[in-house]
Amino acid sequence: MALKVGFIGAGKIAQSLIKGFTNAGLTAPQHIIASASKNDVSDLEVIQKLGCTATTKNTAVVRQSDIAVLAVKPNIVPEVLAEIRDVLEPPKLLVSVAMGITLRKLESSCLENAHVVRVMPNTPCLVATGATAFASGRYASEEDCELTKSLFSSVGTCYQVPESYMDVITAISGSGPAYMFMTLEALSDAGVRHGLPRNLALKLAAQTMLGSAKMVLETGQHPAVMKGEVCSPAGCTIDAMHMLEKEGFRAALMNAVEAAYLRTREAGEE
């Protein structure tokens, strides 16, 4: 029996997950339904172009799906949950990818014994290289957790974690693609500045990032050790490392993660 997946919210993350799930063969477009407000015409059009059912009714998404993915902005989560509360009857699973919204808040807005899982995916799910973490609610079953892990493992890696980890995970892997894209842009800009064609500079930078990440994952070595192996005595790379340290490269990344983490915490408290 085909898995029916519903998305409440049809923005970028929902679109990435839809493409990822269908590309992975986990479900088919005709078994996916997604909702958006009447004002989000472009999102509704994208959903239709993907071959899925588009609607403006959130309750229709819940009724017509085996698993409902809550993919809306944090500030409208209470409004949406109030709307779908009576049709989201246990054991139907609610998967929330809403930034910062705690399991406690989700469960308190649903029917008693609601099956809820809080998930943080990222946009590389689109190309089956996503990094996802999830935490299960009080009444989520082992089968719910297995289904969540199966869904998100089909589009990358997926880890079950304590909920206390979720805000910083949001700041690292949820927001992380933006940090990587900015780094790639800067590297390709540097290549262009020194005479490389834009397309070549970008491809070299992207492949270098991809290969470096793969080395870390497959060797299990600490990045500091691997960095040291690239830095020859009196070579160009150690000069580059000195400049990055001088310019506060690592501190800037750590500060960026902290800013994202604090914003995630704020969103959960609003």
Q: Which CATH class is domain 176-269?
A: mainly alpha
Mean pLDDT (whole number) for 143-164: 96
Q: How far is CA 215 from the centre of its chain?
A: 22
In the chain, where the domains are located: 5-161, 176-269
d(CA 83, CA 21): 26
Model confidence band, residue 1 (pLDDT cutoffs 50, 70, 90): low
Q: How far apart are the first and last CA of the chain?
A: 40
Model confidence band, residue 268 (pLDDT cutoffs 50, 70, 90): confident
Closest CA to 215 of 202, 230, 203, 201: 230
5-161 and 176-269: identical CATH topology: no
Q: Which residue reads 């969103």 in tokens?
A: 267
Model confidence band, residue 241 (pLDDT cutoffs 50, 70, 90): very high
Closest CA to 23 of 97, 132, 126, 151: 126
Q: Cα 116–1–63 angle (5° rounding)?
A: 45
Known binding residues for NADP(+): 71-74
Range 5-161: architecture per CATH = 3-Layer(aba) Sandwich (3.40)
Known binding residues: 58, 71-74
* H helix intervals, 77-197: 77-84, 103-108, 142-153, 166-169, 176-193
Bridge partner list, 123: none
Strands 67-70 and 32-35: unpaired
Known binding residues for NADPH: 58
